[in-house]
Amino acid sequence: MTFRSFLASHLESYLTFRQKLGYASFAGSPALHRAKELDDSVMSRGLRSVKQMDERFLIDWIHARLNRNSGTRNTLLWFVRGFFNYLIRLGVAQDNPT
């Protein structure tokens, strides 16, 4: 994978988990693109912990591009909600800001 933030190993394991559940493989999958975009945003903001990924950060991430339609924003929200639920199960996050 090409993740670079502190979330790299968690993003990789989340995508692997999704793949085992029968979702699309990594290559070209929409989930991979969403994960890379989240990772890039975490890196550009210099975040170092899950606690810094609050509601404000996620709203800014979802609305970062003005040309996103409501369907795309909902898809991003769906992805990050699932990712945070996964982090909670791992004990990495205490709550889900979505």
| pLDDT band of 48, cuts 50, 70, 90 | very high
Residue 88, CB-side half-sphere exposure with 13 Å CA sphere = 11
Q: What's the predicted TM-score (pTM) here? A: 0.88
Q: Which residue has the higher pLDDT, 16 or 26?
A: 16
Q: How confident is the model at residue 22 (pLDDT cuts 50, 70, 90)?
A: confident
Under a CB-based contact definition with an 8 Å cutoff, are residues 19 and 26 in contact?
A: yes
- Mean pLDDT, the chain, whole residue set: 90
Q: Tell which wins on pLDDT, 58 or 27.
A: 58
pLDDT band at 3 (very low <50, low <70, confident <90, very high): very high
What was the pLDDT predicted at 88?
98
Q: How far apart are CA 20 and CA 71, in angstroms?
A: 26
Q: What was the pLDDT predicted at 27?
A: 53
Q: What pLDDT is attached to residue 47?
A: 96
